[in-house]
Amino acid sequence: MKMKILITILFGLFAINLQAQNTWLTKKQITEDIEFLTKTLNKKSSYAYLNGYNFNNDFENYLNTIKDSTRLENFGMFITKTLAKIGDRHSSLNKIRGYDLNESLFLPFVYAPVNDKVVVLDFDHNKELEILNSKFPYLKKIDGTDISDFLQKTRPEDIKAPKETYFTLAVRDIRDIQKNYMLLEKSLPKQIKLTLSDSTFQKDTILAVSVVDKSKRLRPWDEKFEVDYLFIKDEDYNKPEIIENLFSIKDNIAYIKIPEMVNKDEAPLLFDKVNSFMKSIQNDSEALIIDVRANSGGTRDLLYEFAKYLIHPDSIYVVNTTKQRGPLPLPKDYKKSLHNRFLFSLSELDNKEQKKAAEFLKTFKPIYELDENKYSEYYFGLLNGKKLAKPTLYYNKPVYILANEKTFSAASVFVSAFKGLPNIKIAGVTTDGSSGNSEWVDLPNSKLFGKISTMVSFQKNGKILDGYGTEPDVKIERDINQVLWQSDTQLEKLRDLILTEN
């Protein structure tokens, strides 16, 4: 089941719970919840303390500020901010659930990221996106606060995200002005002054706008290709009419769009199509683009399906190394979870794979040295051509993986795994890397719940995925035409680059 469907179900349950639970918590209840969370983090969290952040200090300081009680939403916001500082992107992206900020007021217009700036959009009479003010297209200030300062305070759950990811998500949330003013601890006025600026940021104009209710708010800006697949379920990737739109070939450049890292058992027809398409383009194409932009993840099944064609049959590559937090030696259920991610210990590899893993470790320099008393031995993600591919199926032509700042979880592992391998280049912008083998945690009194990662996942360069992502070999950013849904300029620029190089 996709994460977004699961979150929808959880939101429904959480809404029911909210009706039955008190919106106020006593200090005793808060203390018990913090003690429970502290024990859980110290026992299970793979990223706790690694970046130098000590959440115990913030927990202690928070308890000292509470007199007798506090509101549920205040406690929820505090826990969300605190967990985000740990640097666990699975925890951060899913946030802490179980509380409601009761948002009812919003800014008008649509806010989108372009070239490190915020462009303000609206819909014309044909319901097409357009720039609100062509002379002053960019948002410079909100009620006198510089937009960069404003954004840095309004998406606390993503404070440790790669900068490109943070910027896009924070810009998307500008609309939610009531929530933002709560985070800023400011009273929300009936009118907001928006300072709009020209392309040089030298000439400005001020627009005073009234806040609007939910009935008049516009949906946040997303990529056109993202919106097209936003509500498609995993099982829908067994429908020919959906699958066919994901595959094409133009100017001898093959193209595959992967909106989700779906499970092979849930979408067998998509995997069949991947295989038939990869076989069909062996002689009919000069290059291949695999598009995983805005792919929020899922499983690693597609990574290993594509590897059949992208990895030379005589090659073995270590593409991911991990260590699992948990009781040692690891119980069977922990090992099964790692195996489901195609991760295996040294003793579980064959002789050639063991040799390759040993060679890899000689030069591998992880950014964190993990406590051997808390973390397992290394588990390796390998791409073994002998086990994956047939010589006649190897696609010995340029492959470009197109990613962006919303490429997350298993999709970011996909990008990281293939980066640096022969014939393969990463294009687009830095991914929102994450790989954590996460577990759900429920607090006993507040009923707040969320995810924490239990596995530290390293890229080949020694960096973790969380907070760093994977940088592209060929950087291609969106332009205003892509923001306005007039063209997919990232894809078009990549196609032009391929035609020029080939």
Count of domains for the chain: 3
Which is more confident, 35 or 23?
35
Positive or negative: CA dihedral 350, 356, 359, 361: negative
Q: What are phi and psi of 225, to 5 degrees?
A: -70, -25
- For residue 145, tell me if it sits in a domain: yes
Do 75 and 138 sit in the same domain of this protein? no
Per-residue pLDDT reduced to its tens digit, 312-342: 999 999 999 999 999 999 999 999 999 999 9
Do 194 and 281 sit in the same domain of this protein? no
Beta strands in 378-478 (DSSP E): 379-384, 399-403, 424-428, 438-442, 449-453, 455-458, 474-475
Q: What is the CATH number of the domain that holds 193?
A: 2.30.42
- For residue 161, tell me if it sits in a domain: yes
Give the chain's end-to-end CA distance (angstroms, integer). 40
β partners of residue 253: 250, 287
Worst-scoring range by mean pLDDT, 38-42, 95-99, 320-324, 402-406?
95-99
Q: What is the CATH number of the domain that holds 400?
A: 3.90.226.10
Mean pLDDT for the stretch of residues 197-201:
95
SS3 349: coil
DSSP 211: -
**pLDDT surpassing 80 at residue 13:** no
Share of the chain above pLDDT 90, in %: 90
Worst-scoring range by mean pLDDT, 48-57, 98-107, 210-219, 323-332?
98-107
* CA–CA separation, 49 and 92 (whole Å): 16
The residue among 154, 180, 212 that closes a domain is 212
- Which residue, 379, 383, 387, is CA-closest to 336? 379
Give the number of other CB atoms < 10 A from CB of residue 372: 10
- For residue 370, tell me if it sits in a domain: no
Do 302 and 422 sit in the same domain of this protein? yes
Q: What is the pLDDT of residue 390?
A: 78
Tokens of 5: 């469907």
- For residue 374, tell me if it sits in a domain: no
User: Among all chains, which residue has been given the structure tokens 């009935």?
Assistant: 215
List Cα–Cα distances, 388 to 202, 256, 314, in angstroms.
57, 20, 10
Helix then strand then coil, % of the chain, to nearest 5: 40, 20, 40
Positive or negative: CA dihedral 24, 169, 12, 440: negative
Positive or negative: CA dihedral 137, 143, 145, 151: negative
Positive or negative: CA dihedral 317, 320, 323, 329: negative
**Helix axis angle, 301-310 relative to 410-418, nearest 10°?**
20
DSSP 392: G
**pLDDT surpassing 70 at residue 262:** yes
The residue among 212, 237, 267 that closes a domain is 212
Mean pLDDT for the stretch of residues 475-501:
97
Do 130 and 64 sit in the same domain of this protein? no
Count helices and strands (H / E) in the chain.
18, 21
Is 430:162 a contact under the CB 8 Å cutoff? yes
Per-residue pLDDT reduced to its tens digit, 115-129: 999 999 999 999 999
- For residue 238, tell me if it sits in a domain: yes
Do 235 and 88 sit in the same domain of this protein? no
Render 31-92 in DSSP notation, one character per residue. HHHHHHHHHHHHHH-SSTTTTS--HHHHHHHHHHH-SSEEEHHHHHHHHHHHHHHHT-HHHH
Tokens of 216: 């008049």
Do 294 and 391 sit in the same domain of this protein? yes
R_g over Cα of the chain: 24
Q: What are phi and psi of 375, to 5 degrees?
A: -120, 150
- For residue 343, tell me if it sits in a domain: no
User: Among all chains, which residue has been given the structure tokens 């959009």?
Assistant: 121
Tokens of 83: 């967990």
- For residue 363, tell me if it sits in a domain: no
**pLDDT surpassing 50 at residue 6:** no
Give the number of other CB atoms < 10 A from CB of residue 285: 21
- Which residue, 415, 387, 389, 398, is CA-closest to 472? 415
Q: What is the pLDDT of residue 291?
A: 98
- Return all residues near 309 (Cβ < 8 A) that are at least 6 apart: 278, 389, 393, 394, 395
Residue-range definition of the domain harbouring residue 426: 225-312+384-501
Do 297 and 160 sit in the same domain of this protein? no
Q: What is the pLDDT of residue 235?
A: 87
Do 169 and 41 sit in the same domain of this protein? no
- For residue 369, tell me if it sits in a domain: no
List Cα–Cα distances, 394 to 255, 278, 317, in angstroms.
17, 9, 15
**pLDDT surpassing 80 at residue 391:** no
- Which residue, 365, 344, 262, 354, is CA-closest to 306? 262
Worst-scoring range by mean pLDDT, 33-37, 258-262, 434-438?
434-438
Do 447 and 481 sit in the same domain of this protein? yes
The residue among 169, 191, 212 that closes a domain is 212
Do 291 and 416 sit in the same domain of this protein? yes
SS3 246: helix
310 residue type, one letter? L
Per-residue pLDDT reduced to its tens digit, 113-162: 999 999 999 999 999 999 999 999 999 999 999 999 999 999 999 999 99
The angle at the Cα of 459, spanning 347 to 93, to the nearest 5 degrees, equals 115
Tokens of 322: 């991990």
Worst-scoring range by mean pLDDT, 36-40, 392-396, 481-485?
392-396
Residues in the chain: 502
* CA–CA separation, 74 and 61 (whole Å): 15
* CA–CA separation, 457 and 320 (whole Å): 7
Q: pLDDT band at residue 7, thresholds of 50, 70 and 90?
A: very low
Do 206 and 244 sit in the same domain of this protein? no
Biggest alpha carbon distance in the chain? Answer: 73
* CA–CA separation, 17 and 445 (whole Å): 12
**pLDDT surpassing 50 at residue 16:** no
Is 72:21 a contact under the CB 8 Å cutoff? yes
Share of the chain above pLDDT 70, in %: 95
Do 47 and 196 sit in the same domain of this protein? no
Q: Is the pTM of this model over 0.85?
A: yes
